[in-house]
Structure 1
Amino acid sequence: MATILKSARSIVPLMDRVLVQRVKAEAKTASGILLPEKNVEKLNQAKVLAVGPGFTDANGNKVVPQVKIGDQVLIPQYGGSAIKLSGDDEVVLFRDSEILAKINDA
């Protein structure tokens, strides 16, 4: 059963879940040639849109997510729970432990 939501703002992650949106790959080469949509691959880079509050482990310690809203992160090629938004937009819900790395702006 597919649910189409109007916007990502209506999604509030629970526990250690992180809501991300993949960065769209350039559809134009450096020399200005436009690429067909089927030849543009999905990038493993995403922007964090929302973060859950964390969870309490078996020892009673509070475990908070390592990322915050606005961070650029690397995500696995497969996995997560994809959520369709109105239009062609899609966001993905991952656990904090599934996110591979943060990307620092240099």
Structure 2
Amino acid sequence: MSVNFKPLADRVLVEPTKAETKTASGIIIPDSAKEKPQEGTVVAIGNGKADEPMTVKVGDKVLYGKYSGSELKLNGNDYLIVKESDILGILS
């Protein structure tokens, strides 16, 4: 997926994984009770800092802190801008 957004420095644009809408037993979860997702896919990355090159790349599935980043809406889609240091790890 391509977006017309280029993060600066050590920032990363992440598309959060959609929150579950049903439990395993089929109960529908209302919006007010949905857990905020903590994982997503890297959509765009900045160039890094002079002394700290970027370690994540576009397409990586990542885990980030629950209250990390700033929410952003682009072309009708929800994204999160986080600093690379707020990313806890890459999921394999």
TMscore range, shorter length: 0.7 to 0.9
CA offset digits 1:71-98 (Å, max 9, x no partner)? 11111111312212344x3211111112
TM-score, structure 1 as length reference? 0.75
Given candidates 66, 72, 76, the residue that maps to 1:77 is 66
Report how many aligned residue pairs link the two structures.
91
TM-score, structure 2 as length reference? 0.84
Q: Which runs of 5+ in 1 are unaligned?
A: 1-7, 58-62
Counterpart of 2:85 in structure 1: which amino acid? S
Bigger-Rg structure (1/2): 1
Structure 1: which 4+ aligned runs deviate by more than 2 Å?
84-87
Matching of residues 14-29 of structure 1 within 5 Å: 14-29=8-23
Q: Which runs of 5+ in 2 are unaligned?
A: none
Distance 1:93 1:37 in 2: 22
- C-alpha RMSD over aligned residues: 1.7
